[in-house]
Copies of this chain bind each other. A is one copy, B any other.
Amino acid sequence: MLLCDIGNTSYHFLDAEKDYKKDVKSFDASTINDNVYYISVNSEVNAVLKTLKNWIDISDFIDKSKYYETMGIDRIVAVEALQNAIIIDAGSAITVDIVNNGDFKGGFIYPGVDAMRKTYKNISPALDYSFNFDLDLDIMPKNSQDAISYGFLKTLYSEVMSHELPVVLTGGNAKELQKIFKNAFFDEKLIFDGMKQIIKKAKLC
């Protein structure tokens, strides 16, 4: 079974246990002949895939009444994968969603690592630093690099931990965030797990 999670920049495939990415700008979806079960937050790609019979949009098989209208399908699928958790999906945005006994309780959106780095740089060239993910969160910073790292990371950490739920990390920057969320579960394939559950429930294959 071939799965695909499509974002703003890439097609992320899972073929059995092997995952790989293709650039949305250059990849031609019609070159694939097998059935592909996909979700996509990319409206341009969506328009193309609707014309290809072997690309099956599994978002049609989710009970979306539990969610809100403009909520990204990737967030919904991650929530569908778990019963009790606070889920951090760290990509171009960092989405944080709470699921309690299988019910979606709401969530928030925080800027991703690259976006936030640019933000500080644009405020002032004096804030043009990479983030220090080895920061000690218990010490108030006394240098510029730690001052922005703490501003970006500790604020997120304080809010997430206040919910006292198991933290699950996924997404492209999950490994970096794991240095901050030391006790978090790291699940690279959370979205694919959610997709598999939806496919199974809908008896698609």
For the complex, is A180 an interface residue (Cβ under 8 Å from B)? no
Is A112 among interface residues, defined by CB-CB distance under 8 A? Answer: yes
On whether the beta carbons of B93 and A124 are closer than 8 Å, the reply is yes
A95: nearest chain-B partner, CB-CB: B147
A72-116 vs B, CB cutoff 8 Å, 1 = contact: the mask equals: 000000000000000000001110101000000111111110011
Tell me whether A68 is interfacial, beta carbon within 8 Å. yes
Contact between A159 and B154, CB atoms less than 8 A apart: yes
Residue of B nearest to A111 (CB): B119
Residues of B within 8 A of A107 (CB): 140-141, 147
Find residues 2-58 in chain A having any chain B CB closer than 8 Å to their own CB: 8
Q: Is the CB of A147 within 8 A of B109?
A: yes
A108 touches B142 (CB 8 A): no
User: By the criterion CB–CB under 8 Å, are B108 and A150 in contact?
Assistant: yes
- Please measure, in the bound complex, the distance between the C-alpha atom of A180 and the C-alpha atom of B122, giving whole angstroms: 25
- Interface positions of A (Cβ within 8 A of B): 8, 67-68, 70-71, 92-94, 96, 98, 105-112, 115-116, 118-120, 122-124, 126-127, 139-144, 146-148, 150-152, 154-159, 162
A126 touches B158 (CB 8 A): no
What residues of chain B lie closer than 8 Å to A119, measured between beta carbons? 111, 115-116, 118-119
- State the CA gap A118–B148 with chains docked (Å): 18
Instruction: Evaluate contact between B106 and A139: CB separation under 8 angstroms.
Output: yes
Report A92 CB to chain B, min CB distance, Å.
5
Contact B158 A124 (CB under 8 A): no
Establish whether residues A142 and B111, one from each chain, have CB atoms under 8 Å apart when the complex forms.
no
Q: Can you pick out 14 interface pairs between chain A and chain B where the beta carbons lie within 8 Å of each other?
A: A8-B124, A92-B123, A92-B124, A93-B127, A106-B141, A106-B142, A107-B141, A107-B147, A108-B146, A108-B155, A111-B123, A115-B122, A118-B122, A155-B155
Assuming the contacts A119-B119, A123-B92, A124-B8, asked whether A108 and B143 have C-beta atoms less than 8 A apart, the reply is no
